C-alpha cells in the first residue's frame, strides 16, 4: 500500500476521482452553466490523459489481480485520449442534453471498467471490467431519451451482450473446472489442450470476439451504432473496441500462446469471415452510421490480421493502427455528428453535393475516409500496411492476398461516400454546418493525427520501444 499503490493505480484512481467529483457536482448542483461544466470535465480529462505519461511503474497489486506496466499505461492513455476527443466532439450535443453529468459518469465508469479489464490479473477482474464497461454503455445507448431507435439500440445491446457474457462465463467456469485457477500467471501451466478446455477456450474467445463484433457475432453492431447517439456510437466503435483489442494484445495472446496453432487458425478464420462479411454488408448501406459500423467491422478484421503475427511487431502495429483508427474514425464521426445534429440527415445520399457548402468539412470527411481505406498520404495507409506486413510475416501469402485484395473492395464503398460528397449532383445540398470551438479543435487534432502520424515515424517508434 501507500505511495506505490497510488502510482500504480493512477489511471483508475484518477477516473474514480473524476467520477466522484461529478457526483458531487450533480448532488450539490451548484453550477447551472452547462458550458462551464463541460469545460471543467474536459480539463479534468485532459489532466488525466497527461498524467498518464508520468511516473509509470511496473507492478502488481491485490495478489496479482491487478497488474500494470508501460504498455498497459500507454494503452490506457490512448483510451482516455480518445475519450477526451469524443467528449470534445460531443460538446454541441451535450450542451442540449439535460443529463449531461450522468452521461459523463456512465462514460467514465465504462472507461474505468476498460482500464480494469486491461490491467486485470485474473478472470474475475477481467469479467468484472468487461461488465463494468458494458452495462453502463447499454444505458448510454439509450441516452437519446425520446428517440425510439435509441432505446431499441440499448435493448439490443444489453440483451445480446448479456447473452455473450453468459457464453463467456460458461467458458470461464469450464476453464476454472479444468485448470483450477483463475489467475493468468498460473493458467498457462495448467493448459493441456484437452477437449473440454478447447471448448472453454473457444467460449471465452467468442465472448470477446462478440465485443470486437467479429463475424458471425457482429449482428448487434450495426443496429446499435445506428440507434445510439453519435457520441456513444463513436465511443463504441473506437474506445470499447480498442479496449478489447488491448486485452487481446496484452492478455489473451500470452495466455493462450500454448494453444498456438489453434489460436492462429481461429484468428485466420475470424479474419476471413470478418473482412468478407464486413465488406459485403458495408457495400450497400445507405445510413452512414451503419456504413461506418460495417467499415469498423472490416477494420477489426485487419487488426486481427496484425495480431496473427503473435510477436511484438504485430502488437505494435495493432496499437499503432488503433491510434490512427481513433483519429480517422473520430474525424468521420465528428462530421457525421455535426451534420446529424443540425440537419438530422444521416444518409449517404443526403451527403450528395456536400462539398458545395462545406469545403473544410468535406475535406475532413474525405481524408478520414481515405485514412480508413488506407490510402496514402494519410496515416491509415501506414497503419494498414504495417498490419498487413505483420500479418504476412508467418508466410501465409494466401491470407495476405485475400486481405490486400479486400482493401480494393473496401475502397469501393469508401469512394462511394467520397463520390457523394464531391461528385454527385444535388439541387439542394446540405447547408453550411456550424461547429463550436471545441469541435473544431477536436477535428483539427484528428486531421493533424491523420496526416502527421504517418509521416512522423516517432509515434510508431515510441510504441515499439515501449513494447520492447
Partner 1 sequence: MNLTLLILIPLLTAIVILTCKSLQSVRWVAFIGSMIQLGLSGMLLYAYNTERALGNTAQMLFSERHSWYAALNIEYYIGVDGISIAMILLTAFVVAAGVLISWKMEMLSKEFFFLLMLLSVGAYGFFISLDLFTMFFFLEVAVIPKFLLIGIWGSGKKEYSAMKLALMLMGGSALVLIGILGVYYNTNDGAGNHTFDILKISQQHIPISLQLYFFPVLFTGFGVFTAMFPFHTWAPDGHSSAPTAASMFLAGISMKLGGYGCLRVAMYLMPEGAHHYSWAIILVATIAIIYGAFATLMQKDLKYINAYSSVSHCGFVLLGIGMMTQTAIVGAVMQMVSHGLMTALFFGAIGMMYERTHTRQVAQLGGLLKVMPFIGVVFVIAGLCSLGLPGLSGFAAEMTVFVGSWQNPGMWHRLATILACASIVVTAVYILRAAGASVMGPIKDEHFRALKDANWNEKLASVLLLVAILAIGMAPFWLIDLVGPDSQIIMDHLTNAGGL
Partner 2 sequence: MLHSKLIALVPLLPLATFLVIGLFGRKYLKNFSGILGTLSLLTAAVISFYTAYEYFFVVGKNAAGVYEQIIAFKYTWLQFSPGMSIDMGIILDPISIMMIVVVTFVSLMVHIYSMGYMHGEERYSTYYAFLSLFTFSMLGLVLASNIFQIYIFWELVGVSSFLLIGFYYDKPSAVAAAKKAFIVTRFADLGFLIGILVLAFYSGTLDFQTLIERFTTNSEYYTAVTAASFMGISALTWGLVLVFIGGAGKSAMFPLHVWLPDAMEGPTPVSALIHAATMVVAGVYLVARLFPVFALSCPPALDVVTYVGLFSSLFAAIIACTQTDIKRVLAYSTMSQIGFMMFALGISGYGGEEGLGYMASMFHLFTHAMFKALLFLGAGAVIHYVHSNEMKDMGGLRKSMPVTHITFLIACLAIAGIPPFAGFFSKEEILAAAFHSNKVVFVVAIITAAITAFYMFRLYFSIFWNKPSYAEASAGEQKVEAHGHDDHAHTDHAHEKHGEGTKTMLLPLILLGLLAIGAGFIPFGHFVSSDGKGLETEFHLMFSLAPVGLALLGILLAMWLYKRANTKPTRISEAVGGIYRAAYRKFYIDEIYLFITKKIIFNVIGKPAAWIDKNIVDGCINLSATLAENFSETLRPMQSGKVQHYAMFFFVGVLGFAVLFIYFWTN
Partner 3 sequence: MIIGGAIMAVTSLKIFRAAIYLLFSLIGIAGLYFWLNYEFIAAVQIVVYVGGIVVLIIFSIFLTHHSGEDMKAPKIAQSVFAAIAAAAGFALTLTLINRHSFLVGAEKAVEPSVNNIGMQMLSTTEHGYLLPFEVISMLLLASMIGAIVIAIKIKPKA
Residue 183 cell numbers, joined = 489467475
222 binds, among partner 1, partner 3, partner 2, none (CB under 5 to 8 A by kind): partner 2
What is the per-residue binding string for partner 1 in 299-318, x denoting contact by CB under 8 A?
A: --------------x--x--
Residue 318 cell numbers, joined = 495493432
CA distance 301 to 133: 22
- Which H helix or E strand runs over 226? helix 219-227
- The residues near 366 (Cβ < 8 Å, ≥ 6 apart) are 418, 421, 422
C-beta of 294 vs 386, nearer to partner 1: 386
CA distance 129 to 207: 13
C-beta of 73 vs 174, nearer to partner 3: 174
Exposure of 95 in the CB half-sphere (CA atoms within 13 A): 14
What is the per-residue binding string for partner 1 in 377-406, x denoting contact by CB under 8 A?
A: x---xx--xx-xx--xx-x-x--xx--xx-
Sites for partner 3 among residues 176-205 (CB under 8 A)? 177-178, 180, 194-196, 199
By the rule CB under 8 A, 126 interacts with partner 3: no
What is the per-residue binding string for partner 2 in 132-171, x denoting contact by CB under 8 A?
A: -----------------------xx--xx--xx--x----
- Which H helix or E strand runs over 59? strand 59-61
Under DSSP, the state recorded for 67 is: E
CA distance 446 to 366: 13
By the rule CB under 8 A, 462 interacts with partner 1: no
Residues 298, 387: contact at Cβ < 8 Å? Answer: no
DSSP string for residues in 361-386:
HHHHHHHHHHHHHT-TTSHHHHHHHH
Angle at 205 between CA 173 and CA 122, to 5 degrees: 50
> What is the closest distance, in whole angstroms, from the C-beta atom of residue 218 to partner 1 in the complex?
24
What is the per-residue binding string for partner 2 in 274-293, x denoting contact by CB under 8 A?
A: ---x-xxx-xx---------
C-beta of 180 vs 216, nearer to partner 2: 216
- Where do contacts with partner 2 occur on this chain (CB under 8 A)? 155-156, 159-160, 163-164, 167, 193, 195, 198-199, 202-203, 205-206, 210, 216-217, 219-220, 222-223, 259-262, 265-266, 269, 277, 279-281, 283-284, 409, 412
- Where do contacts with partner 1 occur on this chain (CB under 8 A)? 313, 316, 370, 375-377, 381-382, 385-386, 388-389, 392-393, 395, 397, 400-401, 404-405, 407-408, 411-412, 415, 418-419, 422-424, 457, 460-461, 464
Amino acid at each position: 500500500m501507500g505511495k506505490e499503490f497510488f502510482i500504480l493505480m493512477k489511471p483508475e484512481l484518477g477516473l474514480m476521482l473524476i467520477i466522484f467529483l461529478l457526483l458531487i457536482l450533480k448532488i450539490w448542483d451548484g453550477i447551472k452553466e452547462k458550458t462551464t461544466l463541460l469545460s471543467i470535465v474536459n480539463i479534468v480529462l485532459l489532466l488525466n490523459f497527461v498524467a498518464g505519461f508520468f511516473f509509470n511503474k511496473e507492478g502488481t497489486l491485490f495478489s496479482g489481480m491487478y497488474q500494470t506496466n508501460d504498455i498497459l499505461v500507454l494503452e490506457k492513455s490512448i483510451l482516455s485520449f480518445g475519450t477526451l476527443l469524443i467528449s470534445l466532439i460531443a460538446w454541441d450535443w451535450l450542451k442540449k442534453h439535460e443529463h449531461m453529468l450522468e452521461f459523463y459518469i456512465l462514460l467514465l465508469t465504462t472507461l474505468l471498467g476498460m482500464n480494469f479489464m486491461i490491467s486485470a490479473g485474473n478472470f474475475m477482474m477481467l469479467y468484472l471490467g468487461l461488465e463494468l464497461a458494458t452495462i453502463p454503455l447499454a444505458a448510454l445507448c439509450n441516452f437519446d431519451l425520446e428517440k425510439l431507435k435509441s432505446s431499441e439500440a440499448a435493448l439490443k445491446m444489453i440483451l445480446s451482450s448479456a447473452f455473450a457474457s453468459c457464453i463467456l462465463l460458461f467458458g470461464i467456469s469450464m476453464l476454472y473446472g479444468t485448470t483450477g485457477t483463475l489467475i493468468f500467471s498460473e493458467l498457462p501451466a495448467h493448459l493441456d489442450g484437452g477437449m473440454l478446455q478447447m471448448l472453454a477456450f473457444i467460449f471465452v474467445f467468442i465472448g470477446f470476439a462478440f465485443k470486437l463484433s467479429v463475424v458471425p457475432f457482429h449482428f448487434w453492431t450495426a443496429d446499435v451504432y445506428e440507434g445510439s447517439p453519435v457520441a456513444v456510437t463513436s465511443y463504441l466503435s473506437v474506445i470499447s473496441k480498442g479496449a478489447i483489442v488491448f486485452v487481446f494484445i496484452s492478455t489473451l495472446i500470452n495466455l493462450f500462446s500454448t494453444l498456438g496453432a489453434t489460436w492462429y487458425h481461429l484468428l485466420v478464420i475470424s479474419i476471413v469471415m470478418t473482412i468478407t462479411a464486413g465488406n459485403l454488408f458495408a457495400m450497400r448501406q445507405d445510413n452512414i452510421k451503419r456504413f461506418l459500423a460495417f467499415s469498423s467491422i472490416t477494420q477489426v478484421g485487419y487488426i486481427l490480421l496484425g495480431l496473427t503475427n503473435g510477436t511484438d511487431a504485430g502488437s505494435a502495429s495493432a496499437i499503432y493502427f488503433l491510434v490512427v483508427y481513433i483519429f480517422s474514425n473520430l474525424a468521420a464521426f465528428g462530421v457525421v455528428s455535426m451534420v446529424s445534429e443540425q440537419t438530422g440527415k444521416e444518409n449517404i445520399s443526403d451527403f450528395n453535393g456536400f462539398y458545395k457548402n462545406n469545403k473544410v468539412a468535406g475535406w475532413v470527411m474525405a481524408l478520414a475516409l481515405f485514412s480508413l481505406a488506407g490510402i496514402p498520404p494519410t496515416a491509415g495507409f501506414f497503419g494498414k500496411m504495417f498490419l498487413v506486413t505483420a500479418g504476412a510475416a508467418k508466410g501465409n501469402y494466401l491470407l495476405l492476398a485475400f486481405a490486400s485484395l479486400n482493401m480494393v473492395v473496401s475502397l469501393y464503398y469508401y469512394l462511394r461516400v467520397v463520390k457523394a460528397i464531391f461528385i454527385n449532383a444535388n439541387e439542394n445540398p446540405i447547408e453550411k454546418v456550424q461547429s463550436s470551438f471545441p469541435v473544431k479543435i477536436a477535428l483539427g487534432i484528428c486531421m493533424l493525427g491523420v496526416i502527421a502520424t504517418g509521416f512522423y515515424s516517432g509515434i510508431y517508434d515510441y510504441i515499439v520501444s515501449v513494447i520492447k
